[in-house]
Amino acid sequence: MTYIVNGKRFEEEPDPGQCLRTFLRSLGHYGVKKGCDAGDCGACTVWLDGNPVHSCITPAFRADGREVTTIEGMGSPGNLHPMQRRFRDAPGFQCGFCTAGMIMTSATFTEAQKADLPRALKGNLCRCTGYRGIEDAVKGVVGVETATPGKAVGTSVSAPAANDVVTGRAEFTMDTDMAGMLHLKVLHSPYAHARIVSIDKTAALAVPGVRRVYTWEDVPRKRYTTAIHNNHLVDPDDTFMLDDMVRFVGQRVVAVLADTVGAAEEGCRKVHVDYEVLPAVFDPEEAMAEGAPQLHGAEDPFVLDPVRNILLEIHSHLGDVDAGFAEADVIHEGTYSSPRVQHAHLETHGSIAWMENGRLNVRTSSQSPSVAKVKLAHLFALRPDQLRVFCKRVGGGFGGKQELISEDLAALAALDTGRPVSFEYTREEEFTTASPRHPMTLTVKLGAKADGRLTAFEVRNVSNTGAYGNHGGETLYAGGSAVMVYRCPNKKYDAYSVYTNTIPSGALRGYGMTQPAFAVESAMDELARALHIDPLALRRRNIVRPGDPLLSMHDGPDDVSFTEDGLAKCIDLVDAAMTRAAHEPPPGPEWLVGSGVASSLHETAPPTEHISEAWVTLGDDLVYELAVGTVEFGEGTSTAHVQIAAHQLGTTPSRIRLVQSDTDRTGFDTGAFASAGLFVSGTAVLRAANAVRDRILEFAAAHTGVHLVMCSMDDESVVCGDQRVSLAELVALARARGIRFTVARKAYGSPRSVTSNTQGFRIAVHRVTGEIRVLYSVQATDAGAVINPAQVRGQVEGGVAQGIGFTLTENYHVDADGVMVNPNFRNYRIPTYADVPRTDVLLVDSSDSFGPMRSKGMAECCINPVAPALANALHDATGVRYRALPLTPERIYSRIAASQTVRPF
C-alpha cells in the first residue's frame, strides 16, 4: 500500500486489522496518542485528506493512497502552525497529552464551529485544563507574558516545554521503541474472592511469540504496598506482586510476556486457572460485622483487626461532645456518601524497563521516580547503584500515579530476560485495576446555639479501602482536615478504613478531604437553614481565625502556621461575586434556580516527611542548569521552578535549562503530590538558586577586591562597585582555578502553611428531566504569592471541572458481583467542554506562607469545596437535600417528583 504521511510517500503494509493510530506510532509519529482506543477522547486525532479523524477507530488500510497529517507535520518548534502558536500562547494545555488532538481538531474549525465549541469539541476530552485555556487558544486569546531579567515571579511565562508540547515532540512515557522490545500483558481475576488452586501455562506458552508466563510462584515473595510515601511505614505492606489469593475482580493473576501485544493478550486467554471461589463482601459496614468473610488473615502483621476487616481505626475526642449537644439549641444530623471516582488521566499507566551495562533502567509514568526506585530496589534486592528510574513528561496524574502499578512487572521481565519490556495499561484496565478515590460514608452531627455558635461537632467516617490498604490509613487521617475548618470546643472524630472485596482505593486530588468536605459543608448548610441563618453568615461565625488552634483529632502542637485570615477573605470575595451574579434570570419557567457555597482548608504539604533536593549549576555556555526530581504532569511545577530560579539569579527563564525526574541526574525528591511540588521542591530550588548566586558574587568580590555588599548580579554580569565583570569572564576564571559554580540544597515539608478555598455556584435545575445547568461558577483561593497567574487560574479551573464531573456526571458502577460494568469514557463520562462552565478565579492576597517567595501549593485543594457547593445550590433550588453523589438527573428527578415543595409550572 502507498501512504503519504506529512508529505512523505512510502510503501508499507499494515498488519491485518491494525488501526491507523498504532500504524502511525510504529512509524515514529508519537504525537498520535492513545487515550482510549475507542474513539471517545480525541487524543489520537490526525488529518485524513485534511479532515480530522480519530485514528484509533480508523483502519490503517483506509489511509491507502491518501494524505495523512499528524501533529508533527503541522509545524516545527521554529515554525509553528497558527493554531499551535495559539495553544502555546493561551496557554491551552497543562499536561499536554490531549493537546495534539485538540490542535488537530481545532485547526480545521470554520467560524461557525468556533462559535459553537460545545458541539465542535465534543469529540476531544481534556482532564486537566477545565477547557477555558483551550477555548482561549481557539479564539486567539493570549495569556502568556514575557519576563524581564530578574522579574520572572508573578509573570505568566510559558511552560519550558511549550513548543515541544504543541508540536507533538514532547516525549511521554511510551513514546519510544527499542530493538528487541517485548510486551507484557496481564490476566486478571474474574472473581472477587478466590484461592488459586492451579495454573496451567502449557497452552499459553505454545502461542507463537510468547516468551514467558509468570505466576505467583515466579515472582519475589515479598510483602509491599503500592502506595508511594517517603515514610513507607504509614501504609500497610499487605500486597504481593502476584498472589495465590485474589481479593477483587481485576486483580493480577498471571503476566504474559511476548513479542507483540497481540501475542501477549492471546497468551493470557490461553492460560488455564482453577479457582476455589470464596465468599465475598463489598460493603464496609457488612465487612465489619460479625461473621463477614475475612480478606486478610491474622498472619498479616499490618491489619489492625483481621476478623472485622479493619485496616485502621481512629478515635479522637476533644472536649465533651455530649455536653456540647446538651447545650445546643439546634442539632442537625445527616449521613452523606461519596462514591469511587477514577482519575481518568488521558495517559494510562505504563512503564518500559531494560538492562544497560548491568543496570536496570525503568522509564515510567509516575509521580515519584525516587520512591519508586526505593520500592523496586526492595522487591528485587538491588543496590541503589544497580537501578535507575526516570520519567519523561507524564500525561496527567491527580494522585493516580502516586502508586507503584506498572513498574514492578516490567522490571521483573527485563531482569529475567535481559530484553527491553513494555507494559502499558488499556483504558479498561485503568478503570478496573488502578486505584480510584475511596468511597466514604460520613455521618455528621452538629450542635449550635440559636446565634449560630457551634457547641458540638461529631463525625463518623467509614472508608472503603478495597482489597488492599494502599493509602487507606493516610486518607483516613486526612479526612480530619474537614473538621478543623470550624471552631468548636467539643469535637469527636471516629473513622474506620475497611477492607472489602473491591478494587483497592488510592490517592486522588483532594486526598481524603474531598469526601469529608462534601459531608461537613452540606451539613453546615443544613444547620444554617435549621437555624434560619444565612449559610455564609454561619460560616463567618464559626470559621477558624488566626491565633485559633487548627483542631481536628488532637490538641497537641503541630508544624502548621495560620497567621492571616485567608478563609474569611475567600468567603467575602465569593459572597460579593455571587451577589453580582444573582440577577441573571432562569433559562425558562420549567427551571428552578438556586445558589450554594462551600469552603475548605488544606495544609500545603503532607504531615509525613517530604524531602526535595535541587541542584543549580552555571555552565560554560552561561546557561544555568536546574536539576530537580519533581515530575511534570500538568501541575505546572516545572514552570514555577524555572521562574523561581530565574528570578533569584537575575535572569530570564530562557537562561534556565531544566533537568528533572531522573534518579541518575537529580537528587532525591519524595514526589509531586500533596501540593509539595511547589511548596517543598520550589523551596529547594529557591535555596539552590540563592546559594549559587551568592557563590558567584563572592567569587566576583574576591576577584575585583570590592566588598561583597557592593556587588550585585544581572542577566549577563556582576557589578562590583564601578566595575562590571561578565559572567563569561567569571566562569573562565573560575574554571582556570578548578572552581565550579554549582550547589545543591534540600528542603523539607515543615513548617507548613494553610491554603483556603471557597466555591460558589448559581445553578438552574430542570423540573422534569433533573438536568443541572451551571449559570455561574466562582472560586476564591488563598494561594499566597502567585508565581504564575495563568497557571494558578488554570489549576483552579481544572480542579473545578474535575469536581463538577465527580459531582454530576461520573458514575463508577459496580454490580452485585464486584464487577465494574462501565470501564470506558463513553459510559463513565468525564466532563466535556459542553459540561464545564467558565469559573471566575479570585485570588486572595496573603503573605503568611513558608513556601518559596511566600507562595502556596494549591493545585489539589481547589476540588474540595466543589461538590458541597453544588449540592447546596441544588437544595436551594429544589428544597430537596441530596446526600449521596453523583447528582445524576435520574436521582434528582425522582426526588423532585416526590417532593411537595415544587409547584407545577
The tens digit of pLDDT for each residue in 571-603 reads: 999 999 999 988 778 889 999 999 999 999 999
Cα angle value 745/153/799 (rounded, 5°): 95
CA 171, 174, 175, 181 dihedral sign is positive
Instruction: Give CA–CA dist 68/52, Å, rounded.
Output: 10
Instruction: Give CA–CA dist 450/691, Å, rounded.
Output: 57
The separation between CA 31 and the C-alpha centre of its own chain, rounded to angstroms, equals 22
What pLDDT does residue 904 have? 46
Backbone angles phi, psi at 476, to 5 degrees: -65, -45
End-to-end CA distance of the chain: 63
Bridge partners for 543 per DSSP? 486
Residue spans of alpha helices (H) in 493-558: 514-531, 535-542
Q: Which residue has the higher pLDDT, 571 or 483?
A: 571
What pLDDT does residue 196 have? 98
Q: Would you state the cell numbers that stand for residue 232, as one nine-digit string?
A: 513507607
What pLDDT does residue 208 have? 98
What pLDDT does residue 199 have? 98
- State how far the alpha carbon of 104 is from the alpha carbons of 34, 168, 792, in Å: 15, 11, 26
pLDDT, mean over the chain:
96
Amino acid at 427: R
Q: State the SS3 of 584-595.
A: CCCCCCCEEEEE
Q: Would you state the cell numbers that stand for residue 419, as one nine-digit string?
A: 530484553
Residue-wise pLDDT for 646-705, tens only, equals: 999 999 999 999 999 999 999 999 999 988 899 999 999 999 999 999 999 999 999 999
Instruction: Give CA–CA dist 727/644, Å, rounded.
Output: 20
Range of lowest pLDDT (386-395, 535-544, 850-859): 850-859
Q: Are strands 359-364 and 350-356 parallel, antiparallel or unpaired?
A: antiparallel
What pLDDT does residue 39 have? 97
What pLDDT does residue 202 have? 98
Mean pLDDT, range 519-523, rounded to an integer: 98
Contacts of 569 (CB under 8 A, 6+ apart): 756, 780, 782, 844, 846
- State how far the alpha carbon of 206 is from the alpha carbons of 253, 264, 269, 655, 811, in Å: 19, 11, 12, 57, 41
What pLDDT does residue 353 have? 98
Q: Are 615 and 744 in contact (CB under 8 A)?
A: yes
Residue-wise pLDDT for 427-441, tens only, equals: 999 999 999 999 999
Residue-wise pLDDT for 78-118, tens only, equals: 999 999 999 999 999 999 999 999 999 999 999 999 999 99
Amino acid at 377: A
What pLDDT does residue 900 have? 52
Q: Would you state the cell numbers that stand for residue 278, as one nine-digit string?
A: 470464596
Residue-wise pLDDT for 374-406, tens only, equals: 999 999 999 999 999 999 999 999 999 999 999
Residue-wise pLDDT for 134-173, tens only, equals: 999 999 999 999 999 999 999 999 999 999 999 999 999 9
Instruction: Give CA–CA dist 295/763, Å, rounded.
Output: 44
**102-105 CB contacts, 8 Å cutoff, 24+ apart:** 102/42, 102/45, 102/126, 102/134, 102/137, 103/71, 103/74, 103/166, 104/45, 104/46, 104/47, 104/52, 104/69, 104/70, 104/71, 104/74, 105/42, 105/45, 105/52
Percent of the chain with pLDDT strictly greater than 90: 92
Mean pLDDT, range 162-189, rounded to an integer: 98
Instruction: Give CA–CA dist 722/901, Å, rounded.
Output: 80
Contacts of 763 (CB under 8 A, 6+ apart): 593, 594, 595, 596, 772, 773, 774, 775, 870, 873, 874, 877
pLDDT above 60 for 625: yes
What pLDDT does residue 606 have? 87
Q: Is the pTM of this model over 0.85?
A: yes
Nearest Cα neighbor of 844 from 569, 528, 462 is: 569
- State how far the alpha carbon of 341 is from the alpha carbons of 440, 448, 520, 647, 682, in Å: 11, 33, 19, 39, 30
Instruction: Give CA–CA dist 440/336, Å, rounded.
Output: 8
Instruction: Give CA–CA dist 265/429, Å, rounded.
Output: 13
pLDDT band at residue 800 under the 50/70/90 scheme: very high
pLDDT above 70 for 326: yes
Q: Are 795 and 677 in contact (CB under 8 A)?
A: no
DSSP line for 191-223: SSSEEEEEEE-HHHHTSTTEEEEE-GGGS----
What pLDDT does residue 43 have? 98
> Please, what is the angle between helix 514-531 and helix 866-878, to 10°?
30
pLDDT above 80 for 903: no
CB atoms within 10 A of CB 564: 21
What pLDDT does residue 480 have? 86
Backbone angles phi, psi at 276, to 5 degrees: -105, 105
What pLDDT does residue 552 have? 81
pLDDT band at residue 902 under the 50/70/90 scheme: very low
Cα angle value 630/631/632 (rounded, 5°): 120
What pLDDT does residue 555 have? 81
Local structure of residue 403 (DSSP, 8 states): B
